Homo-oligomer: A and B are copies of this chain.
Amino acid sequence: VASRKTASRSTYHHGDLARTLREEAVKLIREVGPEGVALRELARRIGVNHASVYRHYADKEALVAAVAQDGWTELAAAMHAAVTGDDVPADPAARLVRIGAAYARYALAHPAHYGVMTGPRLNEAGRFPSLEVPIDDAFQLLISEIERGRKLGAFADGGTAQDWALRVWMFVHGYVSLVMARRVQVKPSRVEEYFERMLTPLVGAS
């Protein structure tokens, strides 16, 4: 047949509209906050009819869920990077604090995106199971670090490895939320340093 499958321009003059929508949504969210995303405004900025969004996402919630998933994927990667490479401490508690600090840094560098990731209960009805994949990945990193620590005698009391992983997640999310709400004044350059100072006494690192 005569159709050209390889030509990038042959599919759509914007290239990959689904991807363009997600990227423009991130920008819009950054400007107007997690609540203010509007599909019509989004389409206007890209230069397509607003109805064409529905060719790529079932509805607004589906687009938002895709944006949230992109964010969790990046956040999980940042957490992994925090305990990969040189100058990573060997002390289990210190490693855990590092991972939490990387989480806090990502969230506070992308506050509106983080708002979309944690704000609306997107997968409450099980609509977007793939959203859980990077979230589980991030959580599993905490679990494996804690289990590694337990073999070395850390995090012995206070319940299971999961209990400890949840404690860290609860604390870092609370930290991020309070800094974001300006309940604590922290300069952007001090976000990680202050996080380490706050969490360390709780997990007993030196």
> Which chain A residues have a beta carbon within 8 Å of chain B's beta carbons?
35, 118-121, 124, 157-159, 163, 166-167, 169-175, 177-178, 180-184, 197-198, 200-202
Contacts and interface: CB of A to CB of B under 8 A. Distances in A.
A108 to B, nearest CB: 13
Copies of this polypeptide in the complex = 2
Nearest to A179: B170
A119 B177 CA distance: 9
Given A35-B35, A170-B178, A174-B177, A163 B198 contact: yes
A143 to B, nearest CB: 13
Contact of A181 (B118, B163, B175, B178): B118
B184 A174 contact: no
Given A157-B201, A166-B184, A167-B198, 20 more contacts: A118-B177, A119-B119, A121-B180, A121-B181, A121-B182, A124-B182, A158-B202, A159-B197, A159-B198, A163-B197, A169-B174, A170-B171, A170-B174, A170-B175, A170-B177, A171-B174, A173-B173, A173-B177, A173-B178, A174-B175
